[in-house]
Structure 1
Amino acid sequence: MSAAALIVAAGTSAAWGDTVATTSSATTSPDHRQAGEDSGELMDSMQSFNDPRVSPGGTVTAGAYRAAWQHVLGMPVRQAAFTEVTTQPYNGDALHYRDHNVSNGGAGGGYNTGRIAALATDPTHSGVVYAGGAGGGVFRSTDDGATWTPIADHLPSLSVGSLAVAPDGALWLGTGEATTAFDNYLGTGVYRLANPSQAVFSQSDALGGGELDNSSIHALRFDTEAGYAFAATSHGVYRRALGAGQGDPWQKVLAPCAGVGVSGVACGTSGYYADITNDLVVQPGSGGKRVVANVAWRGGATYNGFYYSDDAGATWHTANPQGGINPGDIGNTTFAYSADGSKLYAVVESPTLYNKNPGAKAPQTVLGGVYVSNSGDINGPFTQIANSSVLGNSGSAMKFTVMGPGYQPGVQSWYDQSLAVDPTDPGHVYLGLEELYETRNGGATWNTVGRYWNLGLNCFSYVAAQNTCDGNVMHSDQHALAFSNWAGKAPEVYAGNDGGVYARPTTQTAPGWRNLNASGTLRTLQYYSVGAGTLPGGSGSGPAEAVWGGLQDNGVSISVPQGATYSYTYPGTSTPVTEQLNAAGEMGQPFGGDGGDQLVNPANGCQTVGEYTNLAMSVTNNCGYTANDDGTPSAITSISPNDPNARFIAPFGADAKDPGYWVAGGEYVYANTKTWQSTSGSDWQKLADSGAGHSVTAVKSQKDAAGNHVIWAAWCGSCNPGAGFARGIMTNYGGSWHQLTLPADFPVRYIQDIAIDPSDASGKTVYAALSGFSRHWNVGPGAGYGHLWRTGDGGATWQDVSGADGAADQLVDASANRVLFAPDGTLVVATDLGVFTDDVKADGLGHWKRLGTSDVTASGSLPTAAAVYLSPSPDGTSVYVATHGRGIWKTAMP
């Protein structure tokens, strides 16, 4: 996640089992360019997606996701074709979207896509590169990154943790994203594609018997000499023979807390974050015998450390690294051997620093250091070759005197780590943290070759002619590295990060990278929301639509047809100016940092409210378009209510029947009657308090026949899975605000959405959409079955309308994220496994159909990335679907 934004919440949000000190860094001005976003905000980002899916208990048993997908395949189908909307290149530096307060435009990142978690090159097919999106599946390029094609859109899970090309040329895919250290971005194991340069993945390519379901697979490695494949997962190390049959199970060979592979490791109360294996490597030149693994929890645990095997993983030992590494302070670690096995490099996160409060004005990092064992031995001795200060002084934009306190190199090394040694030179190493660094002499000197941004540097100017910065900028947060070595082509290094893929020759020392996102065909954008509005005047044969969406670490996007125009009268002037919103045929990024919920005026698509995070809202009335190339005048205004306890992605929206009335939810429920004329956070009025320590997760308003705004709000608190997890619903239905007493069978799970039935003018008929999994799979108190519940009497009673348990037309047992009413009353629900409808008038409640094609792999089907948000088109004839990993799609309104 980029630091391209303000800090809106105090301190560091600890995940389960963390003991992180907090520092106050609250601000009242949503300056998205402000440096110093702490890593706690990144944790909030991760948890905003993760926590709902494993609440209340924090654990989902193996098989949940696979079983849900099998159910989907057997459901009745309501025929519909989906078309991809976000197909234009996404330019974070697009001209005229460079508002100085809330944009990162001009910072140097260029074209972006969603987070890339894994990379691999095909050694036998020149120009073939594979990229794994964190939530978007696998893409293949056959022209060295110029263009890309998705090859895994219809697996049960599009969450990617690892990619590796096996000795026989097959591409192995490990699902379950690895950057979060947990198994919340659910995976369904490992898949093997025999002919990856031409074929596409299918469910029949799965390897094993389901033992890796619901795991994050951090690394796949091949021990060719010993004849094994290894998987480093969130539940330990697994192994299988390279010649094993497709359905033969993976064998768990190392799990210290479970007593597998090694004994005598005291794990204390590690619980559900035990045995997390962050990396594994096989030492070249050891005959396939020496295997090294890092098993560690980022916040510190008694099992943390290095482990090694001298018999290809059959038995294991606890390492005792000597020299510069402190064996008692080993957290998340990434290893890299030189090609001859003579050198072992390691980048190590420090749990001690992770749990330390350095003070608001001090440098902050959790990087323990970068080390090398010049013997290649995991026991060392290790020599430190870099630390945060060394890297900060290597040309970094994160240097203390440049970025300021609180965000120095390695501050997120529990999250973003990558490390690779040039196969032709054991002293040539690439290191990925928030930025990308390079050494050509084994760590004696370092250079920042992938800088965070240009903002704050002396070379930077919004006026292009005055900007003298070099091209050593890429998107922040590095996760993957790979090398190519094709005959007749110069070897290249490829880097994957939160904004896509970049490449350059390994011999290059001059600034600059090839941006492999520029074509717009690597489409792994991770949306949280979508909204659309008509552009008055339109373009072409009819009115154009502006489609907006909030994204993980990629701001807020605007997509309009090329050539679309908009007339606007700037404040202080009297003459309208017609602006061409998309001259270059690409999407723009008016809002920087992270993007959250989104509110768009259906009648005027240039009027939108975008959320940074934690209810930090800003409004624009002209599409965020800055008339001049230098980003002036300001086009976006902060209207944040500065709530004390808003969720990372906090809800807001317009009343369903009164667009002149807005509601929003943090700890408090707010209303705003100035709407598009809002100028500050004071335009929001507090209506109700959800309770101390509570955070509103969904809020909706619908004006009733008497002219009252009936409001419903769901909340959580504590929102972290575990013993303290709680949820509830409050409403002013009946005339005054009150908390509902939910029935005993109403699931204790995260409530993702609330929807008020528009056919009931009183506002007493409401649906609640629940995340997580049913009690078949979810470990925790009161886990309940259904994902959609209904009340028809203002909350006095509730009915599960997910369908009969086990029936073919039961709503899928996966997170329900958004509810929409079609004009005819049909219910439409977005889930982690697609979009589903219930034609209540024809079939009655509880009879669900999958929206799409009969064959889930056919043209026009929706990829199985999590569908997280639904929004109607301005004319009500279509539905926009935001996915968290495969962009925005559109289909006809059911």
Structure 2
Amino acid sequence: MKKKNWYWVIALAFLGVVAGVILSQQYTSTSSTIEKEVPAKAEESQVDEEGFVEKGPGKRDDWFMTQKGYEEEEIPRDAFRKAVNQASDLRKMTSEEAPGALNQQWNFNAPSDIGGRVVDVVVDPKEQDTIYIGAASGGVWKSTDAGDTFESVWDDNLVQSIGAVAITPDGTLYVGTGEANPGGGSIVFGGTGVYRSDNGGESWEQIGLEESNAIGRIVIDPENPERVFAAATGPLFHEGEQRGLYLSEDGGDTWEKVLAGENETTGAVDIAIDSENPNRVYAAMWDRIRYPNKRQYGGEGSGIYRSEDGGASWERVTEGLPDSDLGRIGLAVSSTNPEKVYATVIQTSGYFEGFYISEDHGATWEKQDHPKNLANSQSSFGWWFGRNYVDPEDGDHIFVSGVQLMESKDGGQTWSATNGRKVHADQHGMAWDPKVPGRVYLGNDGGVYRSEDNGDVSREWIKATYEPYTQFYTLTVSREDPSRLAGGTQDNGSIRSWGEEGWNNYYYGDGLANLINYEDQDNVFACYQYGNCARSIDGGDTMINFTDETESDRRNWLTPLVFDPNDPSIMYYAGNILNRSTDGGETWEAISPSLSDAKSKDAYPFGTITTVAPAKSNSNTLYAGTDDGRLWTTNNLGEDWKEIEHEMLPDRWVTRVAVDPKDEKVVYATFSGFRSGDNAAHVLQSKDGGETWEDVSSNLPEVPLNDIIIHPKKRNVLYAASDVGVFVSPNGGKKWYSLGEGMPLVPVMDLQYHEPSGVLFAGTFGRGVYEIEPKGW
């Protein structure tokens, strides 16, 4: 296998690790006692002369992006959409050739009381207590009880990534697919355009902008509901396509681009309309693109534009605004004094630039002497938020989305923040209920909240009780009791199904690797980003961090932590060096040299181990895969390591290695990185311990695989988790079929087969946990 030339330098990710850890402790209800804490240190990013973010060892999760677009290669322009179509075709083929695989039922398992990222909220203008929300990777949901419980009103077969939701006075819904919040590590998925429903979400019609990829905002003309504006932010990974501001004069039947960006990387992200003069429209344009080795979240195309003729013509307004280094901008017009316009301006780096006010309909702007807490609310990733909101009854009552929700009651002179212990971090959407004075809804990374005090950040916010759209990175199931589940989740920590009523948090940060000892279910393990892992012998009530006991120079965002399949007191933990414990994680010993390269600690891929697979049939045999496309094996518990080199092995991130439980020489390896004409494999099989390999990707969609499982009794039966669902092969990969009905078209990150019950569990990134009993498969 060819050696890698490491020259990767990728951006500071969307949430600094220290900030994430601190905020998680503030906003998460937890019963855990942390006896030992090893927080990772976040460092500031650096920006070059062109406005590109170049480095930042405190990156949050470039893990996601780097898997998808390996090294210097691009993600193909239509990769996600193509994969969705291929998955649909495979499902049709399954119904014809193997209906038994499809005629199985996936059932939602849990959780329903945690929530997940909500990017937009709208209130039904007619129905009492009814709202609609857009979940970042979980579709559109409806509540008829004032935001307490939610039900899905989105087609399971549509792309689940949502960017914006809007509603007309007669209740017609518009949804823009594809999340516009880019993230540092880009844990967002593209969309397939704009959809419309005139029956409360019972059915949806695709009405255009199929190539827009991400929609930042949809706004309805307050005097003419047939006039609909859509801010097309554009594909994150490519130039061009349908970037810009679009207007429909016929309720979405046709669209016209009324404002193009200054270059091929500029799209529209926000819109505001003067309620007294709807011909006066404001638009925030955003120059933003993600390259494999750089992130540009600002540039010469970023700025504020104004139209005085309903969008027919536009001028860029610049007086009083910064001349350069403009990133994302959020806009809002005063509800009681439309001459006053508010703008939150973020620098290219992601840091707060300033809060600006115009007193003359946006012609000139003045930077305010903002307090420190307003700047701090954006942390170093202001591009993750980008929306402002104004009280419909009081134009001086302003809200700015950020890590905390920021509130000003005096037109932006002073600011107060939500209490992190009462309201989850990372705010995205707000909406007032015109039928109930003082009622305001809020969407953030923790789900939906309601205020009955006009959004007062110092007063009570009521969290939804049923919101089943959690984003799972990992999942684990107790062998003794399959109702006992735990998993790592995006911005909601490590969560468990026991310990309190319902699901609850037991370890903080972004939850990643989670384990339940298969002989003692009170012995549990949980990690947050970059391998900060802890163990517990009381079901997670007391967590003891053991990271310092391990040896590695570099640790991946999702650091592997696994049990030996024959003895759960034996465990493996992998940074760039593989560590082994024989006492249940109390002490650790390094059993390998560095198995992956890195030019420096700032390089990415980091040069880390990404998957570890101990063999059940021979405890001396281990396999390991890395983020630089290497496979390794040892037959003597690490005394000697052999790099597996073969022309069939693709130069790709290794996502998983699985070993046949009866024969340690039979091994499967899965890889990520979209195929772009080079026919790089997704799944390879070796029957001789890695000496030779066969591509068993067969008819799988061209999409990264996140996990693979070998059936413990039917050794030719394989289950594969992908960004577009779960697939099954009854013949060792010669042919693949869609598995089951009932699971939305959502990324599946982790699979767990519960052997005593024969139930397969799937941890999804946006729709929680699903389960299926694949009889005959």
**Which residue among 319, 335, 338 is the counterpart of 1:341?**
338
TM-score (normalizing by structure 1):
0.73
CA 1:252–1:753: 2 relative to 1, 3 Å: farther
Q: Which runs of 5+ in 1 are unaligned?
A: 25-39, 90-111, 259-273, 355-365, 393-406, 454-472, 536-542, 561-580, 626-633, 717-726, 777-781, 804-809, 854-860
| Paired residues of 1:128 and 1:142 also in contact (CA < 8 A) | yes
Which residue matches 2:459? 512
CA 1:870–1:603: 2 relative to 1, 3 Å: same
Which residue matches 1:790? 685
Q: Distance in 2 between matches of 1:483 and 1:788?
A: 49
Q: Distance in 2 between matches of 1:508 and 1:418?
A: 15
Q: Distance in 1 between matches of 2:405 and 2:381?
A: 13
RMSD: 3.0
| Paired residues of 1:479 and 1:496 also in contact (CA < 8 A) | yes
Aligned AA (1:68): Q
- Tell me by how many angstroms 1:409 deviates: 5.3
After superposition, residues 301-340 of structure 1 pair within 5 angstroms as 301-322=299-320, 325-339=321-335
CA 1:643–1:493: 2 relative to 1, 3 Å: farther
Aligned AA (1:373): S
- Tell me by how many angstroms 1:432 deviates: 1.7
Deviations 1:425-446 (A, max 9, x none): 1111111211112112211222
Please say if 1:280 is aligned against 2:296: no
**Which residue among 365, 374, 395 is the counterpart of 1:391?**
374
Q: Answer with 186-195 or 750-759: which moved more.
A: 750-759
After superposition, residues 364-763 of structure 1 pair within 5 angstroms as 366-377=351-362, 379-384=363-368, 386-387=370-371, 389=372, 391=374, 410-448=379-417, 450-453=418-421, 473-486=422-435, 489-505=436-452, 507=454, 509=456, 511-517=458-464, 519=465, 521-534=466-479, 545-560=483-498, 581-582=499-500, 585-625=501-541, 634-640=542-548, 641=550, 643-674=552-583, 676=584, 678-679=585-586, 682-683=588-589, 685-692=591-598, 693-705=606-618, 707-716=619-628, 727-732=629-634, 736-743=640-647, 746-759=649-662, 761=663, 763=664
- Tell me by how many angstroms 1:277 deviates: 3.3
| Paired residues of 1:321 and 1:380 also in contact (CA < 8 A) | yes
- Tell me by how many angstroms 1:315 deviates: 4.7
| Paired residues of 2:440 and 2:455 also in contact (CA < 8 A) | no
CA 1:252–1:288: 2 relative to 1, 3 Å: closer
- Tell me by how many angstroms 1:830 deviates: 1.0
Please say if 1:59 is aligned against 2:66: no
- What is the aligned residue count? 702
Q: Which runs of 5+ in 2 are unaligned?
A: 1-14, 23-37, 236-242, 289-295, 599-605
SS in 1 for 2:93: coil
Q: Distance in 1 between matches of 2:47 and 2:737?
A: 36
CA 1:121–1:650: 2 relative to 1, 3 Å: same
SS in 2 for 1:50: helix
CA 1:72–1:544: 2 relative to 1, 3 Å: closer
- Tell me by how many angstroms 1:796 deviates: 3.7
CA 1:740–1:316: 2 relative to 1, 3 Å: farther
Aligned AA (2:730): D
Aligned AA (2:511): G
Q: Distance in 2 between matches of 1:59 and 1:249?
A: 28
| Paired residues of 2:125 and 2:170 also in contact (CA < 8 A) | no
CA 1:10–1:200: 2 relative to 1, 3 Å: same
**Which residue among 146, 149, 153 is the counterpart of 2:148?**
146
Which residue matches 1:239? 246
Q: Answer with 327-336 or 731-740: which moved more.
A: 731-740
Q: Distance in 2 between matches of 1:287 and 1:533?
A: 58
Please say if 1:881 is aligned against 2:762: yes
- Tell me by how many angstroms 1:816 deviates: 1.2
| Paired residues of 1:230 and 1:239 also in contact (CA < 8 A) | yes
- Tell me by how many angstroms 1:799 deviates: 2.3
Aligned AA (2:110): T
| Paired residues of 1:305 and 1:327 also in contact (CA < 8 A) | no
TM-score (normalizing by structure 2):
0.83
**Which residue among 667, 672, 675 is the counterpart of 1:766?**
667
| Paired residues of 2:707 and 2:749 also in contact (CA < 8 A) | yes
CA 1:635–1:59: 2 relative to 1, 3 Å: closer
Please say if 1:207 is aligned against 2:224: no
CA 1:606–1:242: 2 relative to 1, 3 Å: farther
Over the matched positions of the two proteins, sequence identity in percent amounts to 24
Deviations 1:25-48 (A, max 9, x none): xxxxxxxxxxxxxxx44xx23x33
Which residue matches 1:106? none
Deviations 1:17-65 (A, max 9, x none): 97547678xxxxxxxxxxxxxxx44xx23x3333323335233313424
Deviations 1:804-832 (A, max 9, x none): xxxxxx22232211101112121001111
Deviations 1:656-693 (A, max 9, x none): 3444432232222222222x2x335x455545432234
| Paired residues of 1:50 and 1:185 also in contact (CA < 8 A) | no
Q: Distance in 2 between matches of 1:319 and 1:646?
A: 46
Aligned AA (2:703): A
SS in 1 for 2:412: coil
After superposition, residues 838-857 of structure 1 pair within 5 angstroms as 838-840=729-731, 845-853=733-741
- Tell me by how many angstroms 1:183 deviates: 9.2
SS in 2 for 1:386: coil
CA 1:850–1:299: 2 relative to 1, 3 Å: closer
Please say if 1:48 is aligned against 2:56: no
Q: Distance in 1 between matches of 2:120 and 2:574?
A: 36
Aligned AA (1:438): E
Aligned AA (1:336): A
Q: Distance in 1 between matches of 2:46 and 2:199?
A: 43
- Tell me by how many angstroms 1:85 deviates: 2.0
Deviations 1:270-319 (A, max 9, x none): xxxx2243323334444435342232346542333333444544554433
Deviations 1:735-793 (A, max 9, x none): 832333342x644443321212224x2x33222222343326xxxxx4x2542222233
Aligned AA (2:654): I
SS in 2 for 1:49: helix
- Tell me by how many angstroms 1:252 deviates: 7.7
Q: Distance in 2 between matches of 1:850 and 1:800?
A: 19
| Paired residues of 1:645 and 1:695 also in contact (CA < 8 A) | yes
Q: Distance in 1 between matches of 2:285 and 2:39?
A: 32
- Tell me by how many angstroms 1:422 deviates: 1.0
Q: Distance in 2 between matches of 1:666 and 1:14?
A: 25
SS in 2 for 1:59: coil
Q: Distance in 1 between matches of 2:591 and 2:704?
A: 32
Please say if 1:865 is aligned against 2:753: no
Aligned AA (2:368): Q
| Paired residues of 1:372 and 1:385 also in contact (CA < 8 A) | no
Deviations 1:515-545 (A, max 9, x none): 232x2x211111111111145xxxxxxx564
Deviations 1:240-274 (A, max 9, x none): 4242675x56648413213xxxxxxxxxxxxxxx2
Aligned AA (1:345): Y
Q: Distance in 2 between matches of 1:862 and 1:884?
A: 12
Please say if 1:3 is aligned against 2:29: no
CA 1:416–1:544: 2 relative to 1, 3 Å: same
Q: Distance in 2 between matches of 1:13 and 1:610?
A: 28
Q: Answer with 5-14 or 660-669: which moved more.
A: 5-14
Q: Distance in 2 between matches of 1:310 and 1:789?
A: 60
Please say if 1:824 is aligned against 2:714: yes
**Which residue among 284, 288, 294 is the counterpart of 2:285?**
294
Aligned AA (1:877): G
| Paired residues of 2:377 and 2:402 also in contact (CA < 8 A) | no
Which residue matches 1:98? none
Aligned AA (1:307): Y
SS in 2 for 1:156: coil
SS in 2 for 1:529: strand
Q: Distance in 2 between matches of 1:506 and 1:382?
A: 31
SS in 1 for 2:88: helix
